[in-house]
Structure 1
Amino acid sequence: MSNELERDGAAVQSVDRALSVLRLLARHGDLGVSEIAAELGVHRSTAFRLVMTLELHELVEQTADRGKYRLGVGIVRLAGAATVRLDVVRESRATGERLAAAVGETVNVAILDRDEALYVDQMAGPSALQAYNWAGRRVALHATSNGKVLLAHAPRERFERLAAAPLLPFTDLTVTDAGLLREELDTVRRRGYATAADELEIGLTAVAAPIFNVEGTVVASMSVSGPTFRLPPERLPEVAEQVMTAAGEVSSRLGWHAIEDGKALTA
């Protein structure tokens, strides 16, 4: 037991020191390993191991002056992801609540996180009593409407990487053929929304549309989901129009302007 506590204590200390390295570089701009060791009060070899680990994750990088280190692009990616998530959640909340009330079902907002869709917010409609809380959950891109929207607008390399491995079947209706999935993603881009009926769970249907940022990049997706018996095929086009309108409102709040017939449209 004491050995386990010692190992835990050492791990926590390493994390604390690594974070201290990042704070030092944020304060000083760039430092050498010896300078970092002196600031932390540790041996140079310890500081070197900390820096190497952080460099492996691109959180620090060497400067042109070899032997000096500064904050790396990994920090920018983390900060950018956090900013996108906060902006999307803030700007989509009111619109999502109105959509949930109008459709009577659950509204979710998701972002692309590695090769999964990460649900960052949820608004429940009046019919969605005791709705499952999707916020914080990661789901497969190929088996969900949000995932298909995000994958359809992601760089092609992401699809190729995903398709290179077996696409897992969650139900008998999950699309697991890469060719069929590619065709469906083409349709998603063309018509502006994605659907998933009984593909992640039997009895669950969802419709999603993309959310764009000021640069016209898809940064998130918004979906309506509910029991399949309340979202039958004949109702999906109508719900899709409502979802696309709501996602468009959020996009405009993020600074996006739609392009139609060569003219920019302001919301």
Structure 2
Amino acid sequence: MTEGEETRRGVAGSVQSVERAVSVLEALARSGGAGVTEIADEIGVHKSTASRLIGVLESRGLVDQEKERGKYYLGAGILRLAGAAAIRLDISQESAPVCRRLAEATGETANVAVLDGDAAVNIMQARGPAEVAAYNWLGRRTPLHATASGKVLLAAMPTAVRESLLAREQERFTARTVTAPAALRATADEVAAEGFAITREELEAGLNAVAAPVRRYDGTVIGAIGVSGPVYRMGEERLSELAESCTSAAGELSRRLGFGS
């Protein structure tokens, strides 16, 4: 067997294991609780295979066992995953009117972004009445170090996670892109202290942006809301005004998500 064939076989086996693990979770969701034999019959595998799958899921907190009866059921880890999905859904639903008002008030393109691994992804957008609108950012993943929303999210990260990201080589998009870890670290501290972030032609030449953090009920930053537009409309003299508008919108959206209530 060649190395390529071994690799393909390994990938196929991994995919099959994932499919079976998901089938176990779906089976437990339908039944509310089941033993190893029942689960094996339900997903069509040998009892030993089902036992191994359950063991992995149990080690991650996705499955728990009733010690007295020996049955398995969905664990608290499922709630953690569901909670994360619910938070993203909440901010997407609640941000629409706030985003529209911000766009109308500033005349610029307003966006709401959330963290997606090592990038920011824009989940809501509203265009202002200005003649020349900015690029369509909806659904686009943008770098944390070169965008206003990204810098807000970077500033809110746990120190260890942020340091891990800053240890990587950062891509330079324009002559003004900040890539040095020390400079990005200082910027993150500044953003955390001031409550907003500004980028000046760091992602694209001629494009400026401002963003502020959105918080959930416990104060955790779960997103950023901001505006972006051409330099000739968003020059230095206007950036502080836009920072106030974004901070106000972020406060409104945070309250809608339960923060400070």
* Separation in 1, partners of 2:247, 2:241: 10
Name stretches of at least 5 consecutive residues in structure 1 with no aligned partner: 1-6, 258-265
Q: Which residue, out of 59, 80, 83, partners 1:80?
A: 83
Does 2:204 match 1:193? Answer: no
TM-score, length basis structure 2? 0.83
* Cα 1:163/1:13, change in 2 over 3 Å: closer
The one-letter amino acid paired with 1:250 is L
In the alignment, which residue of structure 2 is the partner of 1:96? 99
- Please state whether the residue corresponding to 1:111 is helix, strand or coil: strand
Number of paired residues?
A: 250
In the alignment, which residue of structure 1 is the partner of 2:3? none
Does 2:150 match 1:147? Answer: yes
Name stretches of at least 5 consecutive residues in structure 2 with no aligned partner: 1-8
- Please state whether the residue corresponding to 2:113 is helix, strand or coil: strand
1:51·1:60 contact (CA, 8 Å) conserved in 2?
no
The one-letter amino acid paired with 2:161 is R
Q: Alpha-carbon deviation of 1:245?
A: 0.7
The one-letter amino acid paired with 1:34 is T
Q: Alpha-carbon deviation of 1:47?
A: 3.4
The one-letter amino acid paired with 2:209 is A
- List per-residue Cα deviations over 1:60-101 (Å, max 9, x = no partner): 345485x86543555334322221112112222111111101
* Separation in 2, partners of 1:102, 1:244: 13
TM-score, length basis structure 1? 0.81
* Separation in 1, partners of 2:61, 2:29: 11
Q: Which residue, out of 203, 225, 230, partners 2:228?
A: 225
* Separation in 2, partners of 1:68, 1:169: 54
The one-letter amino acid paired with 1:253 is R
The one-letter amino acid paired with 1:204 is L
RMSD over equivalenced CA pairs, Å: 2.9
Q: Alpha-carbon deviation of 1:17?
A: 4.6
2:62·2:77 contact (CA, 8 Å) conserved in 1?
yes
In the alignment, which residue of structure 2 is the partner of 1:158? 161
In the alignment, which residue of structure 1 is the partner of 2:23? 20
- Please state whether the residue corresponding to 1:142 is helix, strand or coil: helix
The one-letter amino acid paired with 2:26 is R
In the alignment, which residue of structure 1 is the partner of 2:209? 206
- List per-residue Cα deviations over 1:196-241 (Å, max 9, x = no partner): 1111111211100011111111111101001122211221001110
- Please state whether the residue corresponding to 1:171 is helix, strand or coil: coil
In the alignment, which residue of structure 2 is the partner of 1:60? 62
Q: Alpha-carbon deviation of 1:50?
A: 5.0
* Cα 1:74/1:115, change in 2 over 3 Å: farther
